[in-house]
Chain A
């Protein structure tokens, strides 16, 4: 109130319209009117002005939040939620998985996001990123980080290897958070539906490379992702992830063990498998994720995706751009851990 009284200069008293409301004591309100209704701040009942209605509390918690939580639990308990054909459970992803992943990308790896504005807020796009770190942590970080940090809070639908869907719990969570198998059919279906698709063309070659090869991009497959983008006419956004290489520095790999467990590689790091489950804790490296300028694909003819030479050229261009971004961000890095 005192602020209002101070702001009104005495000379301007007559010129300003006054509030037309009557106060509790029956006198006319003497405050200056704002807005078109001829009322002052107090009588207009602007939110944030005057006294907000006291919020009901249950113990230390907001009653509304408790009510919401109970409704959420009820929906989960009765199966009253929707999933899409890929098994994407939006509610579970946003309400349960995203807050957990936030601890990782925001608090543990403290990701610096650069060039987020390069990711379109609507419509399809293909995010192409480098893959590293022994465990595909970079996929999780990119997916949930973008959901939190991007102004449009978009969900990235990742393409994963069939190994992910063979593993219990991992496969289930991968499906429920909206990812699918890396096949042409699924990828094209997602892109034509206007989704944001994320791919790691290096695959196992990237995620399973040794520490001495860090930040050196591996072969980009056969460029299937370029064909996809051309086919769906979706822009390609190159993504460079710095920090992922240091979480589990893979010194060597045990081929016989990999064969026993039917895995593409079995990592040996300074801590794993020596320290057992303790060795599975990732090192807290400082991450930088940069998005490059989108490469447009809608100017090429309809059948451009069948042009092998163009596909090769574009693959090289995307790969080059990611490598350049990686080097640039590595140069500016002060230290691995902060």
Chain B
């Protein structure tokens, strides 16, 4: 398995990176990418098929290309690119449904790898500090991307039930970060002054894009049926993350968070959904123990290292860099010592 691979949503960055990684593997015979838009990355061996996964034509593609593995990455996190939430839901939920129906029909398909998100656990005051794979959201019914992902996971499990000969791997990713990834979180981190909830400091857990690609690659090439949290080691507070980035922040009263969020959306700065706003108030950490134990993969970069890699790539780097602060520290200490010395001498003379 994992020799002939079909990737949906190939125009996305993660899918492009995965295709590139698979192309470099001589054991992978054939990679085909499906999307309505062309891939943004230069790919050599990939065959691009312009199609909508909601179209029944996908069955034909599966059968003619004789792929044994399908990687479903055509799940949108924000409605920004497609014009509205209903359209996004249509692509995420109906698209997944149609694709899985096609996979069920195409007997050549023996493995399904699907991207999901740790957002399915929600984020709230009633949530445990660390989520394991068996847990489900308990503070609030998930909405937006989290809800879509949860429904897509449900369809995938249905597929696995009906096709016991096929393996299913669901990867619940933490928020991606890295120099090339563009998400609402990276745009949020790039704001000149970052609004934060007053009196709350959420714990954030990230995943470097390279680690995300590696996890997907291994799920394709090795066999790891099951559902796994894919998140980097280590946790950062939002305040801490902003200081690592050298970004100034402005605290906002919680009742004003929604208006500020929608204002940012209107001005096209950051596209935040309510479940993402909840993440920025209550935070979320997923247990990545199972990933290491059973899947045999440990993300190479910690949350902090992933964030630092992103920070280094920012065009407008925060003005408050660690070197600068260390310099201030030295200067201030030297100044205080000099002052103390002067005073001592004055007292003596």
Q: Which residues of A contact B (CB under 8 A)?
A: 56-59, 63, 66-67, 70-71, 73-74, 76-87, 89, 162-163, 165-169, 171-172, 175-176, 180-181, 183, 185-186, 189
Given contacts A78-B243, A79-B236, A83-B240, contact A63 B337 (CB under 8 A): yes
Q: Which of B62-70, B187-195, B324-332 contacts A (4 or more CB under 8 A)?
A: B324-332
The answer to whether A185 touches B325, judged by C-beta atoms less than 8 angstroms apart, is: no
Instruction: Give the nearest-CB partner of A80 in chain B.
Output: B322
The answer to whether B336 touches A58, judged by C-beta atoms less than 8 angstroms apart, is: yes
B274-305, CB < 8 A from A: 282-283, 285, 287
Given contacts A83-B237, A84-B235, A168-B254, contact A74 B325 (CB under 8 A): yes
* Residue among A162, A176, A189 making CB contact with B130, cutoff 8 Å: A189
CB distance from B237 to the nearest CB of A (A): 6
The answer to whether B337 touches A185, judged by C-beta atoms less than 8 angstroms apart, is: no
Number of A-B contacts (CB under 8 A): 106
Q: Which residues of B contact A181 (CB under 8 A)?
A: 125-129
Instruction: Give the nearest-CB partner of A165 in chain B.
Output: B125
Q: Which residues of A contact B199 (CB under 8 A)?
A: 167-169, 171-172
The answer to whether B129 touches A180, judged by C-beta atoms less than 8 angstroms apart, is: yes
The answer to whether A83 touches B201, judged by C-beta atoms less than 8 angstroms apart, is: no
The answer to whether B201 touches A74, judged by C-beta atoms less than 8 angstroms apart, is: no
* Residue among B320, B333, B343 making CB contact with A77, cutoff 8 Å: B320
CB distance from A199 to the nearest CB of B (A): 15
Q: Which residues of A contact B200 (CB under 8 A)?
A: 168, 171-172
Q: Which residues of B contact A (CB under 8 A)?
A: 125-130, 132, 135, 197-201, 203, 234-237, 239-244, 254, 282-283, 285, 287, 320, 322, 325-326, 328-329, 332-333, 336-337, 339-340, 343-344
Given the complex of chains A and B, what is the CA–CA distance between A335 and B244 in angstroms?
52
Q: Which residues of B contact A70 (CB under 8 A)?
A: 329, 332-333
The answer to whether A78 touches B244, judged by C-beta atoms less than 8 angstroms apart, is: yes
* Residue among A57, A163, A172 making CB contact with B340, cutoff 8 Å: A57
The answer to whether B125 touches A166, judged by C-beta atoms less than 8 angstroms apart, is: yes
CB distance from A54 to the nearest CB of B (A): 12
Closest 8 CB pairs of A and B: A168-B199, A79-B243, A58-B340, A79-B240, A165-B125, A166-B125, A169-B199, A79-B244
Given the complex of chains A and B, what is the CA–CA distance between A180 and B127 in angstroms?
10
CB distance from A215 to the nearest CB of B (A): 31
Given the complex of chains A and B, what is the CA–CA distance between A42 and B340 in angstroms?
32
CB distance from B64 to the nearest CB of A (A): 47
Q: Which residues of A contact B130 (CB under 8 A)?
A: 85-86, 185-186, 189
CB distance from A93 to the nearest CB of B (A): 13
